[in-house]
Amino acid sequence: MAGSMSEAMTWLGPAESGQSLPAGAPQWLRDKQQAAIQQLSSMSVPHRKMEIWRYADVNRLQAQMTAENAPELPTPNAVDHTVIVVSQQGIQWHSDQPDWLTVEPISQMAAADWQDVQPQAHPSEQGMVVLNQAGLHGGVFLVVAAEQTNPAHVVELIYVHEGEHWLNLRNQFKLASNCQVTIKETHVGDRINLVSHWAVGPGAQVKREVTSRLQPEAMLVQFDHMELADGADVRAMHQRSNGALQHHQRQVQFAGVGAKYVSGSINKSILNNNICDIVNVIHNQKNNRSEVTHRSIAKDQSQIFNNARALVAVGADQSEIEQDLKNILLSADAKIFSKPELEVYADEVVAAHGSTIGALDEQSLFYLQSRGIELTQAREIMIESFEQEAQVC
């Protein structure tokens, strides 16, 4: 069933008026926007049965918002905590701007700095990326200079958006060689579609913490592309819970050798939610390492889709890959799909992967109970310890 234009508009939201691109945007991006608008107008209204939406109940994209979700902003207290709020209105600093940090609206970025973001897997599933390309509202261009070498300094971006319409954001992160920093992203919006490009310089050590604990009706669709240069070291931690729909895709690519990408996800879907977590690591260079750990918990009628894919290209020898997906179902109606995938075209590759779906370990629960801990509390303790395994930073 192909959606008529007006029907499609309810979920296409941001593309409806063909938002104009910022003045600095290059021609290729303008072309992409036009193509995206074309593509969207012929795309059918999303439906949960469609494979392209990975079992996420994307009918929810069309849902009307009813609840008022007033976001609460954290107040930065420490000296090494920089807070920037990103919204439809642009960028707002909530702390002093350190010398080594530049954050500007993406609309002010020079044409030469624009990076293309192209998903290389699940091509049939890029509706939201296309949507993002079609309507570009804002986002940031964030640059960390090489002299920043305090890994404890947190630069926090808070994405805030209230209301029925989708906020489309596009970010670009540029982390200079050998810098050390923590970048935290917190989503408190109602409907956000976020595409990000990360360029991590040689020897940079970056911690990334992404928190998406959503209100029951909120939705978040995210696509990241990250490139790691020689010897870069990225630890990325993703904490997600609830919301009506969360659809996360990450694509990681190595541009040099000796780099490491370590990722942890904790996906908690306990209030009848849909969370989709797709990671695609492309080992197209020699001697890089990736570790992807997911811990997911689904309750009630929630659904979680987990996919960790690693592609090792011809000649990318000495690649090391670990994929560890574990899942717990807390109710009979919950569903979890969990899929580790390895596609290896090189020799001398060390790869390990595993995926399990189960209930809480009965023997461990009994051990706790046998010491006097009530079953409900024993369960909570076990869930906490299960989550801990994915805590990479």
Partner 1 sequence: MLKIDQVVANAGDKEILKGLNLTVKPGEVHAIMGPNGAGKSTLGNLLAGMPHVELTSGSVEYMGKNLLELEPEERAAEGVFLAFQYPVEIPGVNNMYFLRTALNSQRKYRGEEPMDSAQFLRMVKQKIKDLNMRDDLLKRPVNVGFSGGEKKRNEVFQMGVLEPKLAILDETDSGLDIDALKIVADGVNQLRSPDRSFIIITHYQRLLDHIQPDYVHVLADGKIVKSGDKGLALELEEQGYGWLNE
Least distance between partner 1 and beta carbon 391 (Å): 8
Least distance between partner 1 and beta carbon 368 (Å): 7
Least distance between partner 1 and beta carbon 125 (Å): 33
Query: Would you say 123 or 372 has its CB closer to partner 1?
Result: 372
C-alpha distance from residue 306 to each of 76, 118, 188, 356 (Å): 33, 21, 23, 11
Query: Would you say 79 or 375 has its CB closer to partner 1?
Result: 375
Query: Would you say 149 or 356 has its CB closer to partner 1?
Result: 356
Query: Would you say 187 or 295 has its CB closer to partner 1?
Result: 295
Least distance between partner 1 and beta carbon 361 (Å): 8
Q: CB–CB of 165/16 below 8 Å?
A: no
Strands 101-105 vs 149-159: parallel, antiparallel or unpaired: unpaired
**Residue 387 identity (one-letter amino acid):** E
Angle, vertex CA 129, rays to CA 260 and CA 218, nearest 5: 95
Least distance between partner 1 and beta carbon 324 (Å): 13
Residue where the block lists tokens 């970010």: 171
Q: Which residues bind partner 1 (CB under 8 A)?
A: 361-364, 366-375, 377-378, 381-382, 384-389
Other CB atoms within a 10 A radius of the CB of residue 147 amount to 11
The C-alpha atoms of residue 12 and residue 17 are separated, in whole angstroms, by 10
Nearest to 335 by CA among 306, 301, 290, 378: 301
Query: Would you say 17 or 377 has its CB closer to partner 1?
Result: 377
C-alpha distance from residue 148 to each of 30, 142, 144, 145 (Å): 35, 13, 7, 6
Least distance between partner 1 and beta carbon 320 (Å): 23
**Residue 63 identity (one-letter amino acid):** A
